[in-house]
Amino acid sequence: MARSDYVFTSESVSEGHPDKVCDRISDEIVDLIYREAKKTGVDPWSVRIACETLATTNRVVIAGEVRLPASLMKTDKNGNEVINAGRFRSAARRAIRDIGYEQDGFHWKNAKVDILLHSQSADIAQGVDKASDAEDGANQAEGAGDQGIMFGYACRETPDLMPAPIFYAHKILEILAAARKKGEGDAAHLGPDAKSQVTVRYKDGMPYEVSSIVLSTQHTDDSWDSAKVRKVVEPYIREALSDIAIADDCAWYINPTGKFVIGGPDGDAGLTGRKIIVDTYGGAAPHGGGAFSGKDTTKVDRSAAYAARYLAKNVVAAKLADRCTIQLAYAIGIAQPLAVYVDLHETGKNVDEVAIEKAIRAVMDLSPTGIRRHLDLNKPIYAKTAAYGHFGRKPGRDGSFSWEKTDLAPKLKAALAS
């Protein structure tokens, strides 16, 4: 039996956190390639991207393997076709500028940007381009880009069916970033780098009140101390927590170590894919271990995690359960998942997990091709996923966050009724 009264904590990091800077750059590369494919009439199904970024003091290194539209290539002085590194450097600088870095130690204009991208391995390509389980060569479904397990989760704790601690941790930082970029009063002196942490007290299994708040945020005024930072940020934190109670005995820790002027990659090196719990459910659900940013959607680390969230959210939206965890398992070069696992956490509404597992396979093709087609993923929609979570976001008119839709709920109900 699950506990009904407890506390749970999740953290988030801002778009200016060193690792998130790297995630953003990697996803800007993904968007650049998809955008260029559309612009030049290249089939977006053909592009391949596995892009990793390292950032440190005034230095960015972008490495990985790609299959690019010809417009992103150029001919070198020896007549060889090579990657047009300038296009990728420009994408990285635009991302850094948008985040807000114009510090001596990390500046969008002055940082050296190294491009170490190369063509995708033929050994990987042969398994991805055509699945080993294709039927008689006629079914040209893509194989999974790698082996792995992916999890999706949904619950009734917030309107977006996300766990409350990560929902509020993200919201605090989003509101502070908006105030910083608008130049609102003293918030204009906040820096891009920040971390939040929220502890929620649960009563009868549902969020009841916030019992502790941690925020560390960079600031540009060297004279600020912790008390000054709290005075500036507390109104924004209370705004973010306006629809949940803050406990009378709530512990506040605002810049607990004192001033925080040197931040971002100048203060601590960043890498793509190091904030996978921030990207997902804040530790409230399992994680398969694969990162999302910098990958095209043949990589099931990304696309199948989106599909698992989509399915779990639709199970809960269909009122089949109050909580749902879904696991999908894949093998490289094989199109269909090896296994589908559902856990309703004893909250199922007159339906069992086995029936939902069968219904899931009936209503959605879970091959990489099927997922990309169903969720319409071959688009430049990924830079905005790089901060404040890939889940619990509003679907956009541009096709972003399509995995947050609940349009599959009626089909799930119908499949279970048949």
Find the catalytic residue in 266, 279, 296, 301. 301
Look up 390 and say whether it is catalytic. no
Nearest to 334 by CA among 148, 119, 152, 150: 148
Catalytic hit among 269, 329, 355, 405: 269
Q: Is 20 a catalytic residue?
A: yes
Contact 402, 25 (CB under 8 A): no
Q: How many Å apart are CA 245 and CA 247, to the nearest integer? A: 6
Is 65 part of the annotated catalytic residue set? yes
Catalytic residue, candidates 11, 19, 209, 266: 19
295 is catalytic: yes
State the catalytic residue, choosing from 8, 11, 17, 390. Answer: 17
- Please confirm, yes or no, whether 19 is among the known catalytic residues: yes
Task: Tell the burial category of 354 from Cβ atoms under 10 Å away from its Cβ (0-12, 13-18, 19+).
Answer: exposed
Locate 394 and state its tokens: 């509003």
- Do 244 and 127 contact (CB within 8 A), yes or no? no
**Catalytic residue chosen out of the listed positions 48, 87, 219, 295:** 295
Per annotation, catalytic residue among 133, 268, 357, 365: 268
Say whether 184 is catalytic: no
Q: What is the DSSP letter of 163?
A: -
Instruction: Mark whether 274 is an active-site residue.
Output: yes
Catalytic residue among 189, 274, 361, 405: 274
SS3 130: coil
Catalytic residue, candidates 8, 106, 260, 391: 260
Active site residue 38: no
Structure tokens at 237: 């934190």
Instruction: Reply yes or no on whether 170 is catalytic.
Output: no
Helix axis angle for 409-417 and 353-363, nearest 10°, is 120
Element (H, E) at 240: helix 226-240
- Is position 219 annotated as part of the catalytic site? no
Catalytic residue among 299, 302, 374, 379: 299
Task: Measure the CA–CA gap between 268 and 84, rounded to whole angstroms.
Answer: 29
Q: Give me the catalytic one of 195, 219, 302, 390.
A: 195
Which string of b and e fits 276-297 if b means at least 16 CB within 10 Å? bbbbbbbbbbbbbebbbbbbbb
Q: What are all long-range contacts of 201-205, with beta carbons under 8 Å and residues at least 24 apart?
A: 201/6, 201/7, 201/247, 202/4, 202/5, 202/6, 202/7, 202/8, 203/4, 203/5, 204/4, 204/5, 205/2, 205/3, 205/4
> Would you list the DSSP string of 310-361?
HHHHHHHHTTS-SEEEEEEEE-BT-SS-SEEEEE-TT--SS--HHHHHHHHH
Return the closest-CA partner of residue 18 out of 381, 267, 311. 267
319 is catalytic: no
Residue whose C-alpha is closest to residue 15's, from 132, 149, 231, 190: 190
Catalytic residue among 8, 11, 15, 20: 20
Active site residue 228: no
- Among 65, 160, 221, 365, the active-site one is 65
Marked catalytic residue, from 170, 171, 180, 275:
275
Enumerate the active-site residues. Answer: 17, 19-20, 52, 65, 195, 260, 268-269, 274-275, 295, 299, 301
